[in-house]
């Protein structure tokens, strides 16, 4: 407990009067043996002893009482303030000087001792407070311990207000606070939090509000209500400020520890995910190749019944679909690990689009495909295979999410220093609140078909950006979605003519 060592002023003056009364009774008993001159020494001793327990002003008061008491009760003539002899006048004056000097020195030593005691108590309180917070397991535990310890140290009621999920920017009370704040008190707390400055309602108030601020981080407000305004001394305000700063420091350290833990977990999760993707993808390629070979061998072994032919075709379709999924998993793993290294060379975007259309020809059999390739398109520097896979994924996405017999458009044109490739469909379009996340890995829009894995568009984005391009998505005014690939156009190379 941190408490003020000084007694209330009225108690010290009462002690001074009591000391004078006791010393006077003792002097009346000793006067006939020691004489009235030695009585002054008894009074002087009582003043010196009193200086160990009271402040300087009560000591001066006691010095005055004892000096005049010696003169009135003991020095001749008795019961009079008149001092007859020169010797008694000198003794009366010297009594004031000696008593005042000794009392002043003794009071200074006492004040120094009290100051050292206060510093020791404050240091010990801060040390134990720091140890208690350091033993906390999480943020809620830190706040709980802070409320308990500050209340015990200051012997006060504590309210902790947090900015977490508070409406209208007002801090919300911590559930384990010991002081329920009313609306006006919460306003003062919000003011202290906004200004990042300690706030006291008035000079005669026992309430004090200290923000838990460290740099730009604001963790709330620590509100304290003492039993009386007189207890809110400068030492306690200083101690409360140190306790609040220490709490903010521990909270900031916990925040950094949580961030480090989350980052480590995220890194480990990503590493595990990449390892799992690689392992599963490679392990699936061998059985898929065996299934495809077995289906082809079955078809070549002789005439098949209609049911066998249908089953063989379904095997081919399912195998092709699984092959695309495995390829997507491998591509996603490469993108996540940063291992996508394009083999940059000059290529014709028209050839890229034709190869992509030929690869997904079976999937587009139930759709009309409209091709609009601008004539004279320039060569671009890119990876033919990656561009082909990006376009294939866009076409597969259009075929999967649009009704049968609808039109799918694929366009290629030049726009300044960019080559534009667009794949548009007449499907339901993209949810407006999902467009910004449509290219995220494993992202699937609400209500989408369960067959998708959320990899295709993420792979498109990764492959295109690896070659210095961009990919955008938007909804068409007439319905459907448009995916646009933007690729930079470089200076077309000069092809040397063959010698004749």
Element (DSSP H or E) covering residue 370: strand 368-373
Over 70: is that where the pLDDT of 278 sits?
A: no
In this structure, are residues 173 and 221 in contact, taking their beta carbons and an 8 Å threshold? no
Q: Which residues contact 63 (CB under 8 A, 6 or more apart)?
A: 47, 96, 99, 100, 103
Tell me the two tokens of residue 345.
Answer: 């060379």
Instruction: Give the span between the Cα atoms of 50 and 52, in whole angstroms.
Output: 5
Over 50: is that where the pLDDT of 291 sits?
A: yes
Instruction: Give the span between the Cα atoms of 154 and 58, in whole angstroms.
Output: 28
In this structure, are residues 192 and 198 in contact, taking their beta carbons and an 8 Å threshold? yes
The superfamily in CATH containing domain 138-255 is: GAF domain (3.30.450.40)
DSSP states of 88-153? HHHHHHHHHHHHHHHHHHHHHHHHHHHHHHHHHHHHHHHHHHHHHHHT--SHHHHHHHHHHHHHHH
Mean pLDDT of 229-233: 74
For residue 53, give the 3-state DSSP assignment. coil
Average pLDDT of the residues of the chain: 79
pLDDT of 421: 92
Most confident residue range from 65-69, 75-79, 164-168, 203-207: 65-69
Most confident residue range from 85-89, 181-185, 255-259, 296-300: 255-259
Mean pLDDT of 81-95: 79
Least confident of 10-24, 216-230, 450-464: 450-464
Least confident of 50-59, 73-82, 335-344: 335-344
Tell me the two tokens of residue 351.
Answer: 């050839």
pLDDT of 382: 86
Q: Which residues contact 460 (CB under 8 A, 6 or more apart)?
A: 390, 393, 394, 439, 471, 483, 485
In this structure, are residues 472 and 486 in contact, taking their beta carbons and an 8 Å threshold? yes
Burial of 346 (0-12, 13-18, 19+ CB in 10 A): middle
pLDDT of 499: 53
Say what percent of the chain tops pLDDT 90.
3
Mean pLDDT of 236-248: 84
In this structure, are residues 71 and 39 in contact, taking their beta carbons and an 8 Å threshold? no
Sequence ranges of the domains in the chain: 9-129, 138-255, 345-488
Over 60: is that where the pLDDT of 446 sits?
A: no
Over 70: is that where the pLDDT of 150 sits?
A: yes
CA dihedral 158, 159, 162, 165 (to 10 degrees): 150
Over 70: is that where the pLDDT of 489 sits?
A: yes
168 or 178: which carries more pLDDT confidence? 178
Over 50: is that where the pLDDT of 4 sits?
A: no
pLDDT of 5: 47
pLDDT digits (tens, 9 = 90+) for 373-406: 988 888 888 888 888 888 988 888 888 888 887 8
Over 80: is that where the pLDDT of 232 sits?
A: no
| Fold annotation for 345-488 | Heat Shock Protein 90 (3.30.565)
pLDDT of 484: 92
437 or 415: which carries more pLDDT confidence? 415
31 or 420: which carries more pLDDT confidence? 420
Which is it for the CA torsion 126, 128, 129, 130, positive or negative?
Answer: positive
Most confident residue range from 158-167, 202-211, 291-300, 366-375: 366-375
Most confident residue range from 75-89, 194-208, 367-381, 486-500: 367-381
Over 80: is that where the pLDDT of 62 sits?
A: yes
């Amino acid at each position: 407990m941190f408490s003020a060592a000084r007694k209330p002023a009225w108690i010290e003056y009462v002690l001074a009067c009591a000391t004078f009364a006791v010393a006077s009774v003792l002097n009346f008993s000793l006067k006939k043996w020691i004489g009235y001159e030695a009585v002054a020494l008894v009074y002087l001793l009582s003043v010196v002893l009193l200086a160990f327990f009271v402040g300087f002003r009560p000591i001066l008061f006691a010095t005055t009482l004892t000096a005049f008491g010696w003169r009135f009760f003991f020095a001749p003539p008795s019961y009079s303030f008149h001092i007859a002899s020169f010797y008694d006048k000198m003794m009366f004056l010297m009594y004031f000087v000696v008593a005042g000097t000794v009392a002043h020195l003794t009071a200074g030593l006492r004040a120094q001792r009290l100051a050292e005691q206060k510093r020791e108590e404050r240091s010990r309180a801060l040390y134990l407070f720091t140890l208690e917070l350091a033993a906390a397991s999480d943020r809620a535990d830190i706040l709980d311990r802070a409320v308990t310890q500050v209340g015990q140290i200051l012997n006060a009621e504590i309210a902790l207000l947090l900015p977490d999920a508070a409406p209208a920017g007002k801090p919300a009370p911590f559930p384990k606070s010991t002081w329920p704040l009313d609306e006006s008190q919460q306003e003062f707390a919000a003011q202290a939090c906004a200004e990042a400055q300690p706030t006291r309602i008035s000079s005669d108030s026992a309430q004090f509000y200290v923000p838990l601020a460290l740099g730009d981080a604001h963790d709330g407000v620590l509100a304290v209500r003492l039993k009386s305004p007189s207890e809110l001394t400068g030492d306690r305000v200083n101690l409360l400020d140190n306790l609040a700063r220490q709490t903010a420091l521990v909270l900031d350290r916990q925040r950094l520890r949580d961030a480090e833990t989350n980052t480590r977990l995220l890194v480990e999760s990503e590493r595990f995910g990449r390892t799992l993707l690689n392992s599963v993808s490679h392990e699936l390629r061998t059985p898929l190749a065996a299934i495809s070979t077995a289906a082809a061998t079955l078809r070549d072994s002789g005439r098949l019944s209609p049911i066998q032919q249908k089953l063989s075709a379904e095997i081919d379709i399912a195998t092709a679909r699984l092959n695309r999924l495995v390829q997507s998993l491998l591509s996603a793993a490469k993108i996540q690990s940063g291992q996508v290294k394009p083999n940059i060379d000059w290529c014709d975007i028209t050839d890229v689009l034709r190869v992509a259309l030929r690869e997904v020809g079976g999937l587009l059999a139930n759709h009309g495909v409209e091709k609009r390739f601008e004539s004279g398109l320039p060569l671009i520097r890119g990876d033919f295979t990656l561009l082909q896979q990006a376009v294939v994924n866009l076409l597969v996405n259009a075929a999967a999410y649009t009704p049968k017999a609808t039109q799918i458009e694929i366009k290629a044109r030049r726009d300044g220093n960019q080559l534009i490739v667009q794949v548009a469909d007449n499907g339901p379009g993209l949810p407006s609140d999902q467009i910004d996340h449509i290219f995220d890995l494993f992202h699937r829009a609400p209500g989408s078909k369960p067959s998708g894995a959320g990899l295709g568009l993420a792979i498109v984005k990764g492959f295109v950006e690896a070659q210095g391009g961009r990919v955008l998505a938007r909804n068409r005014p007439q319905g459907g979605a448009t995916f646009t690939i933007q690729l930079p156009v470089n200076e077309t190379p000069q092809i040397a003519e063959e010698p004749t």
